[in-house]
A and B are shown apart, each in its own frame.
Chain A
Amino acid sequence: MNQEHSLQVARTVLEGRHGFQYVSESWRNAFSQMLKYIQNEEGGQVILVDGPAGSGITTFFRAIVADPVFSGITVTNNLYDYDITFIDRVCAAFSLLEPSVSLQDVPAYLAEFSFLTAQTMIAVDDLDVIVRNKVESLHVAEQIRKMTESRARFCFIISTRSTSLQQHIETISSNFFRIGLKRQLNISSCTEIIESFWRWNNSAFRLDIPMSKCIFSLCKDADFEIDRVIDILQDIYVLGVLFGKGAQKITDRCISREEIKFEVQSNVYS
Chain B
Amino acid sequence: MFIPEVSEGESLSSWMYRIALQGMCNRYFDASHIGEFEAGEMWAHATHSSVSDPDFMETNVKLSSFIKQHGVARERLAEKFGPCEQPLVPIKYRRSYCYACLEEGLKTTRSFVCKLEWRYLLQPFCAAHQVLLRDAPVKYSTNEDYGFRLFMWHHNRDRVFDRYDLACEADSELLRLSLDVQQRYMDLRLRAPHSDVAQQMDNFMLTLMRAMLLPCLSASYRNVDMSGCGGPDCFPKHGLSFYVTFYFEVYRVSCSARARALYLSGLLLGWIEPSDAQAARGRDYYRVTDRAQIWRTIEINSQLGRWVHNQLELYESSLLSLSNIGV
Contact = CB atoms under 8 A, between A and B. Distances in A.
Interface residues of A, number: 19
A198 B40 CA distance: 53
Interface stretch (A19-27, A93-101, A175-183): A93-101
Given A92-B29, A93-B26, A119-B110, A113 B156 contact: no
Please classify the interface of chain A as helix (H, G, I), strand (E, B), loop, or mixed, using the class held by over half of its residues: loop
A97 B148 CA distance: 9
B122 to A, nearest CB: 30
Contacts of B88: none
A116 B103 contact: yes
Interface stretch (A7-15, A57-65, A104-112, A162-170): A104-112
A93 B23 CA distance: 11
B25 interface: yes
Nearest to B25: A93
B155 A108 contact: yes
B39 interface: yes
A207 interface: no
Interface string B136-165: 000000000000100110111100000000
A95 B26 contact: yes
B48 interface: no
A117 interface: yes
B194 interface: no
Nearest to A93: B25
A108 B25 contact: no
A79 interface: yes
B107 A95 contact: no
Given A99-B40, A116-B107, A109 B152 contact: yes
B210 to A, nearest CB: 36
Interface residues on B, range: 20 to 34
Given A79-B29, A108-B157, A98 B152 contact: yes
Given A99-B40, A108-B155, A109-B152, A117 B106 contact: yes
A118 B154 CA distance: 19
Nearest to A91: B26
B151 A113 contact: yes
B27 A108 contact: no
B155 A112 contact: yes
Nearest to A110: B155
Nearest to B153: A109
Nearest to B104: A116
Contact of B25 (A92, A99, A118): A92
Contacts of A79: 26, 29
A109 B151 contact: yes
B2 interface: no
B21 interface: yes
A173 B154 CA distance: 29
A190 to B, nearest CB: 39
B28 interface: yes
B24 interface: yes
Contacts of B152: 96, 98, 107, 109
A112 to B, nearest CB: 6
A107 B28 contact: no
A95 B151 contact: no
A68 to B, nearest CB: 15
A98 B28 CA distance: 8
B155 A107 contact: yes
A78 B30 CA distance: 11
Interface string B52-77: 00000000000000000000000000
A95 B27 contact: yes
Contacts of A118: 107
Contacts of A95: 21, 24-27, 148
Contact of A99 (B21, B39, B103, B157): B39
B171 to A, nearest CB: 27
A263 to B, nearest CB: 44
A119 B109 CA distance: 12
Contacts of B27: 95, 97
B71 to A, nearest CB: 23
A119 B106 CA distance: 11
B147 to A, nearest CB: 11
Interface string B74-116: 0000000000000000000000000000010011001000000
B155 A109 contact: yes
Contact of B110 (A108, A109, A112, A117): A117
Contacts of B26: 79, 92-93, 95, 97
A62 to B, nearest CB: 16
Interface of A: 76, 78-79, 92-93, 95-99, 107-109, 112-113, 116-119
Given A76-B25, A107-B152, 19 more contacts: A78-B25, A79-B26, A79-B29, A92-B26, A92-B28, A93-B25, A93-B26, A95-B21, A95-B25, A95-B26, A97-B28, A108-B155, A108-B156, A108-B157, A112-B151, A113-B151, A116-B106, A116-B107, A117-B106
Q: Which 8 A-B pairs have the closest CB atoms?
A: A92-B26, A109-B155, A116-B106, A108-B155, A117-B110, A99-B28, A109-B152, A117-B106
